[in-house]
Structure 1
């Protein structure tokens, strides 16, 4: 054998390294979307996560490293301004040349309107298969649907030198007016932005992500689309698992901490009875808490769910005198390792937490 012949294993390693080096720089806003992008990029490159685990996406201060990731990005994938309104200014300032994709505005995305009431209208189970839209007249495809959005102005044009950022503890829980309308005092668009909790949306977005990556990096287009196809099959299989996990407790009633789960509820025909808070950005009014307490008593609600980022005393107030069980539901997968496997495990965890609390 010639001493100049390179071993096959070394050649493979060199080529793999070249593929990673040649991959576009990609930045992603939240961990569930990062998981989708990481799955499509598997074997080619790794996206950068902007909003770190445990932080609220609604209010966030960029670390210098996260600002640099935006500055270096060739492509950015984010949910859109309805979820992270502060990020729009950051994108304009730090990533003006990047190809930016808002998944909420992507063709084929099914959007649901916000539910503003504390109590949700009950509906029957079993009328549709997991992942179907059902008969929700308010579901819309996102094609120019953000024309009426009104958001608070955020100045996040520059990287903050402070390495300490929002960890869920920096919410301003000041005094809130007691009327129901004041629960809705934060600016928002018409649509619920927690659309990643719909497996159907996730499967649509795998193709959107693969298309955008392939346009920027045609040499790896085959890998991107093959990964997207495999990911869609994985999510379909996980959806079947989730449905089976929820089947034994379908007649049970539960209350969520904030109204972030209606895409999951719709996909699996597993409706919540109400939400303690309309948003994780505001505290519930006493009137809203009283409504929830009434629903718990009237419907025999057996489970009230909290979230890891927020004050458990709010749930304790709601539970005063009630016999319901409590558990934790996390729409962001804050305790999961970021990466390709986070999204399917997030769906499993939601189902398991619900089933355990309702059993």
Structure 2
């Protein structure tokens, strides 16, 4: 009798352990999501993955991808992810060793996708509309630490459209049972981008041919797509202070009243801009390239672009 009772207890203990393992496995699977680096990429992903998977963002609002460091909780998110989507180590340097955490099939590096790579703009454009007048030492410092390409690709509606398709191609392999939902989401995303493009063109129609400076070189894709007229920027890399030569050239433009607006960013508020613009009639505006405060939904990317275009128009007009 005692022997049978002990066996019964052993069986209960064994099944308890097995149940615990199964529940832990289920919990682990349930926590696996799509992980991305910055909020604007989450906007694009949500356009495709809405109703299919949760999206987690590594970089919190108010932080910059230029100087972010991974936390322990970030490592856990990455290891448990079904898919990690980011631009590339030239933008998110903190993800340069991601191959040690995840297999290639669970990574989507957008800047390395062939259909996106061919559309990348140079970081050092020689076209006159982009007046790169930073001093020599700052340019060399940037070249040494950053890509030769401008990696702010989420600001291009054209590239965002392609990125959405690339994300879709990965997700139908990960979630084959959700194929019809993914197809419908992708269709709606592309349709909404086309409709949104007309709305933004109308918002910006009075902003063309008006000179302005932005804080850092992040907006080339958006500006070229909507044919805006930037005079230049204060710095190539927001972590590097603008050089004396650049500040002198900008001050000269301000004195000649050729600058309609100077755009700052919520993440960076350098005092040097206030100093050189003193006693001028220049307007100040704010551009938010990261879409802080915009909720992650299927139409978030459209709202992000509209908000950015309204920020341009409110200062230039």
CA 1:209/1:25 → structure 2, altered by over 3 Å: closer, same or farther? same
Structure-2 residue corresponding to 1:315: 273
Unmatched runs of 5 consecutive residues or more in structure 1: 1-17, 124-177
Q: In the alignment, is the contact (CA less than 8 A) between 1:44 and 1:220 conserved in 2? A: yes
**Does the Cα contact within 8 Å between 2:214 and 2:234 map onto a contact in 1?**
yes
The Cα of 1:24 is off from its aligned counterpart by: 5.9
Separation in 2, partners of 1:81, 1:111? 15
Shift of 1:183: 4.5
Cα separation, partners in 2 of 1:62 and 1:25, compared to 1, 3 Å = same
Q: Is the 8 A contact 1:253 1:299 kept in 2?
A: no
Counterpart of 1:258 in structure 2 is 216
Paired with 1:327 and 1:280, the residues of 2 have a C-alpha distance of 17
SS at match of 1:45: coil
Could you tell me the TM-score, scaled by structure 1's length? Answer: 0.73
**1:12-44 alpha-carbon deviations (Å, 9 max, x no partner):** xxxxxx9xx779632111111111112211111
Larger radius of gyration between Structure 1 and Structure 2: 2
Equivalents in 1 of 2:38, 2:220: separation in Å? 19
The counterpart of 1:182, out of the listed 114, 138, 141, is: 138
| Residues 271-290 of structure 1: pairs in structure 2 closer than 5 A | 271-290=229-248
What RMSD in Å do the two structures reach over aligned CA positions? Answer: 2.3
Q: Is 2:113 the partner of 1:106? A: yes
Match of 1:138 in 2: none
| Structure 2 length-normalised TM | 0.83
Work out the CA distance in 1 between the residues paired with 2:207 and 2:113. Answer: 34
Q: Which residue of 1 aligns with 2:88?
A: 80
Larger relative helix fraction:
2
Match of 1:35 in 2: 43
Aligned residues: 283
Offset at residue 236 of structure 1 (A): 1.6
Tell me, in whole angstroms, the C-alpha distance in 2 between the residues paired with 1:212 and 1:96.
Answer: 14
Aligned twin of 2:252: 294
Cα deviations by residue, 1:119-154 (Å, 9 ceiling, x for unpaired): x6139xxxxxxxxxxxxxxxxxxxxxxxxxxxxxxx
Unaligned runs of 5+ in 2: 1-25
Residue 155 (structure 2) pairs with residue 229 (structure 1) = no
Secondary structure of 1:185 counterpart? helix
* 8 A contact 1:111–1:191 mirrored in 2: yes
Task: Note the C-alpha offset of 1:335.
Answer: 3.1
Mapped contact 1:207–1:225 kept (Cα < 8 A): no
Cα drift, residue 87 of structure 1: 0.9
SS at 1:108 equivalent: helix
Contact 2:124 2:148 in 1 (8 A): no
- Give a deviation string over 1:75-98, Cα, whole Å, max 9, x none: 111011121112121x13332465
